[in-house]
Amino acid sequence: MSNDWWRTATIYQIYPRSFQDTNADGVGDLNGVRYRLDYLVWLGIDAIWLSPFYPSPMHDFGYDVANYCDVDPLFGSLDDFDALVSAAHAKSLKIIIDFVPNHTSNEHPWFLASSSGRDNPLRDWYLWRDAQPDGGPPNNWFSHFGGSAWSWDERTQQYYLHSFLPEQPDLNWRNPQVRAAMYDVLRFWLRRGVDGFRVDVISHIVKDAAFRDNPANPNFAGEGPDIARLAQTYSSDQPEVHDVIAEIRRVVDEFPDRVLIGEIYLPIERLVAYYGKELGGVHLPFNFQLLDARWDAATIANIIEMYEAALPPGAWPNWVLSNHDRPRIAARVGAAQARLATMLLLTLHGTPTLYYGDEIGIGHVDIALERAQDPWGMREPDLGVGRDPSRTPMQWDASAFAGFSTREPWLPLTPDFATRNVATMREDDMCILRLTSKLLHYRHAHSALGIGSQRLLHASDHVLAYERLQGADQILVALNFCHDTRSFSLPNGLSGAVALSTHSGRSGERVPAKLELRGDEGIVIKIG
C-alpha cells in the first residue's frame, strides 16, 4: 500500500467567498481561511481545497479567470496566499487549489489578443469557427448555462466557443502553446507550496476535432436545462483528453507528494478511465455517484459494489456528498439522514471530501429573487438550477451575521443561524458538528477506516452494513436509511461494542447478535 497522504486524508472544500470575511466587505477572503485553521484542526480535517480566488470579473464568481498567477484583491494578495500556505503547513494541513483549464475570462490578456484579429499569434489559443451558410453557429452545442455554446464576434466575423458563459471562452487544448502556458501556471503554484490541484471540468478540455453536432439525449424528458437536451458525445470526454491529462500529471509529478483531482461528471465505467493508463492520470477522479443517488440502502450498496468493481488495479477510491454546484446533503435527505450520510461518507473505503457547512447541517436556504447571484440560475430562472443555496456563508456564532462578517453577507444566512452555528453546536455533544469531529478523529485513530479493505455485509430492509478491516483492526458500520426501527443480525462470530452512534446513549454498549437500529441511526462498532 502506498503511503501517499491523500489516501488517508479527509479533504474539506472551502468556497472562499463564503467562509470568513476579515475586511468587512461581506465576502470571505484568504485571511479568513487562515483565521479559521484552528477550527479545521479541531474538526479533524487533513487537507483544504480552495475554490477559485484568482483575478476575475466574477461573471461566474472566479471560474472566469483573468490571471492564473495572482489573487483577486477581493480575496487578498499573493502575500496573503503565501501566509495561508505557511500557516496551514505549520498545522499539518495540506492546501489544494482549483485549476480552471477549460476556459478563461474574456478579459484575460490571451483572449483579448486572440480576439483582436484573425492574424494574431494567439488566435488559435481559443476555438474560433466560421458561421454556417445561414449565418448560424458552427454546430448545435449548448452552453452549460443555457443557450448556444457559440457567440458571434463582430470584429473578426467568427464564432467562438464557450461551454459556459459567453464571458468564459474555451481554450484550445490541441494547441501545444496553450498546454505549455498552462503547465507553467501549475508550476507557479507548485513552487509556492500547494499540495495539489482540483481540476475544473477536466473531461471537457478537449473537443471533437471536427466539431460534429451532438446527438439528441434519449433520456431527456422534455423538461430541464438546455444542456440536458443533447448527449455530450463530441463536446466532452474525447479520447485525446487522456493524453493531455497524462501530460498534466507528469508536470505535477515534477514535485513530490502532490495530488491531482479531477471534476468529472460521468458514469462509473467512463469515470474510472481518468485514472489513466498505468495510473498516470488523475489520482482521484471525483466520484459523484452519491450526489444524485436515490437515498436508500439497496441503491447505495449497489453504487458501492459497482464502483469498487470498476476500479482499475492500484486505483484509490473517493466519495463526495455535496459541493458548490449541487444541493447540500441536508437539503436532499433531511436533517436526520444528514447525520447518517456523514457517517457513510467518513467510513467508506477511500478518500472523503467534506463540503464546508455540511458539518453543521446547513440545508436548503431560500434565496429571494433580488438576492440571487448565480448566473446559471438567472439565465434559466424557471428550472431551479441556481446554485446560490449551496454557497451561503459559514455560520460561526450567534452574533449578527453569524460571525462571518460585520456587515450583510453577499448571500443570506439560514433562518436558524442563531442555533445552527459552530460556537453553539460545539457545546452540544450529540449535534452533527460533534458527530463529524468524532468520526474524523476516530478515522485517524483506526487504520481500518483509513486504508482497510471493505466488505459489504447487508443491504436490505433499509439497512446497509459493511466491514472495514486492516490487520487486527476490524470495524463494522451499520446504517438505517428509514425513520423506523430496524434490526440487523451480525455475521456469525462477530461481536463488539458501539464506538460511535448518530444517536445518544449507545457509546460502549456491547452489541448482541441481533442489533436493533433506531430510526435514522447509524453506528460504528469496534469488533473484538
Helical spans, DSSP H, in 324-445: 329-333, 335-347, 375-379, 422-425, 432-445
- CB crowding 278-290: b at 16 or more within 10 Å, else e: eeebbbbbbbbbb
**pLDDT score recorded for residue 3:** 79
Q: Which helix (H) or strand (E) holds 198?
A: strand 196-199
pLDDT in tens, 36-50: 999 999 999 999 999
Mind listing the domains of the chain with CATH numbers? 5-102+176-439 (3.20.20.80), 109-161 (3.90.400.10), 453-527 (2.60.40.1180)
pLDDT digits (tens, 9 = 90+) for 429-445: 999 999 999 999 999 99
CB 13 within 8 A of CB 396: no
Tell me the C-alpha distance between 144 and 228, whole Å.
9
Q: What is the mean pLDDT of the chain?
A: 97
**pLDDT score for 2:** 66
247 catalytic per annotation: no
| pLDDT score recorded for residue 1 | 52
**Which of these is catalytic: 167, 200, 374, 388?**
200
500: β partners: 524
Among 79, 243, 253, 254, which one carries the catalytic annotation? 254
pTM for this entry: 0.97
Q: What is the pLDDT of residue 254?
A: 98
- pLDDT at residue 4 is higher than 90: yes
Name which of 280, 108, 74, 119 is nearest 182 in CA terms.
108
**152 phi/psi in degrees, rounded to 5:** -85, 135
Amino acid 505: pLDDT:
85
pLDDT, mean of residues 339-348 = 98
Asked whether the predicted pLDDT for residue 493 surpasses 90, the reply is no
Q: pLDDT of 382-430, one tens digit each?
A: 899 999 999 999 999 999 999 999 999 999 999 999 999 999 999 999 9
Q: Which of helix, strand or coil describes residue 38?
A: helix
- Residues above pLDDT 90, as percent of the chain: 96
- pLDDT exceeds cutoff 70 at 33: yes
Average pLDDT over residues 137-161: 98
Instruction: Summarize pLDDT for 34-83 with one digit per residue, the tens.
Output: 999 999 999 999 999 999 999 999 999 999 999 999 999 999 999 999 99
3-state secondary structure 360-389: HCCCCCCCCHHHCCCHHHHHCCCCCCCCHH
Sheet with strand 496-501: strands edge to edge: 453-460, 463-470, 473-480, 522-527, 496-501, 510-511
What is the arithmetic mean of pLDDT over 175-194? 98
pLDDT of residue 322 exceeding 90, the answer is yes
- Residue 185: all three cell numbers together: 501556471
Return the pLDDT at 202.
98
For residues 182-209, average pLDDT: 98
Average pLDDT over residues 285-314: 98
Grid cell 459552530 in the structure block, residue: 422
Cell output for 34:
487562515
Is 200 assigned a catalytic role?
yes
pLDDT of res. 492: 87
Which cell is 32 given? 479568513
